[in-house]
Structure 1
Amino acid sequence: MTSRTLYLFGSAAPPVTQVAEVIETAQADGWDVCLGLTPSAARWLDDSLDDLAELTGHAVRSEYKLPGEPDAWPKADVILFAPATFNSLNSWALGLTSVFVVGVVSEGIGKGIPTVAMPCVNAAYAQHRQLDRSVAELREQGVTVLYGQGGFTPNPAGSGKPKAYPWGAALAAARRLVDGA
């Protein structure tokens, strides 16, 4: 099986703590995985960042590279942004790119990189009108957003179920985008 490159991006939501298992699953499916995190997610995983870099064979990134620095990652075949928080989704839809992973997915739209996003928001955030607007905006720009039936459905605030996060659906959607391309 030819290895394809998956950029796996995550925000600071409880399912991000399972990212090592997700990387191993993706690698078993033939993916070369590059892990990018929001600064808060990187802080959550600080004790395991070296292990995650060793697991992927690539530096874990949460900041933009400096001008003149070479790209440390191979070109992406697909991007999977999961879990994507309320803040990350809204920033992305509005083009606010101060965070590295949001900048990469924003630019990825213009570069035509197939992209999957799966939110992780509680039901209180889901009541905010901007979430639906952001999901609609990203879908209009060609992003596969797994939100609602067949993807992520919000839990009541304070009752998150990180083990129930549908990682399998997210990885399957990424595979379909590449296989269908």
Structure 2
Amino acid sequence: MSPQARELYLVVCAAGPAGQVGRLVHLAHTAGWQVQLLATTTAREHFLDIPALETLTGRPVRSTHRPPGEPARTPRADAVIVAPATYNTINKWAAGIADTYPLSVLAELTGLGVPIAVLPFINEAFAANAVFTRSVETLRAAGITVLLGPGLFEPHPPRTGPDKITTYPWHLALSAISRR
């Protein structure tokens, strides 16, 4: 990758497609992005092959804040993708809750106006919840691109998520930040 590559933060949550996030990393590299992975604790512990992803990106997967006094280890983001984004992460982020490293980063970068695309992975029951609908509206009002709806990510019936993992539209998130 060239030294002029743009910096992409990729926030990975604990949802079915998380184990295939390497597909998005490959797409991003092909498009000229350097990728810094940030993972929720559950994604890191149960969904991700950390050594393989660190080899793929050439960087550590970050899940926690750095200790006081330690220099920053991640470059500044030119754009952010949150994928797969869970019901929990979307609702907490929209509510301003920053109780994890990934949520703190998202809160800060939202305030800085960094382009952010969110590709959810939720079922129809979660999507129908009024709290979730308000959260999506809140994020969109803040300038976040939430890729939810016809032609984007369309929620699946409950208990059918495993059937949707291989067709998860990673490319939509990369297209969304590339247009900005």
Q: TM-score range by the shorter chain?
A: over 0.9
1:26-175 to 2 correspondence within 5 Å?
26-45=28-47, 48-160=49-161, 161-175=164-178
In the TM superposition, residue 155 of structure 1 has moved relative to its aligned partner by 0.2
Distance in 1, matches of 2:142 and 2:75, equals: 24
Distance in 1, matches of 2:20 and 2:120, equals: 15
Please list every run of at least 4 consecutive aligned residues from structure 1 whose deviation after the TM superposition is greater than 4 angstroms: none
Matched to 1:171, the amino acid is L
In the TM superposition, residue 102 of structure 1 has moved relative to its aligned partner by 1.2
Q: Could you tell me which of 22, 25, 46 is aligned with 2:27?
A: 25
The answer to whether the Cα contact below 8 Å between 1:12 and 1:85 also exists between their aligned partners in 2 is: yes
Q: Could you tell me which of 6, 9, 12 is aligned with 1:10?
A: 12
Where do 5+ consecutive residues of structure 2 fail to align?
none
Distance in 1, matches of 2:131 and 2:64, equals: 26
Matched to 2:158, the amino acid is A
Other structure's SS at 2:64 match: coil
Distance in 2, matches of 1:144 and 1:21, equals: 21
Other structure's SS at 2:73 match: coil
Matched to 1:32, the amino acid is Q
Where do 5+ consecutive residues of structure 1 fail to align?
none
Aligned positions, number = 176
TM-score of the pair, normalised by structure 2: 0.94
Distance in 2, matches of 1:52 and 1:93, equals: 28
The answer to whether the Cα contact below 8 Å between 1:151 and 1:170 also exists between their aligned partners in 2 is: no
The answer to whether the Cα contact below 8 Å between 1:58 and 1:72 also exists between their aligned partners in 2 is: no
In the TM superposition, residue 124 of structure 1 has moved relative to its aligned partner by 1.3
TM-score of the pair, normalised by structure 1: 0.93
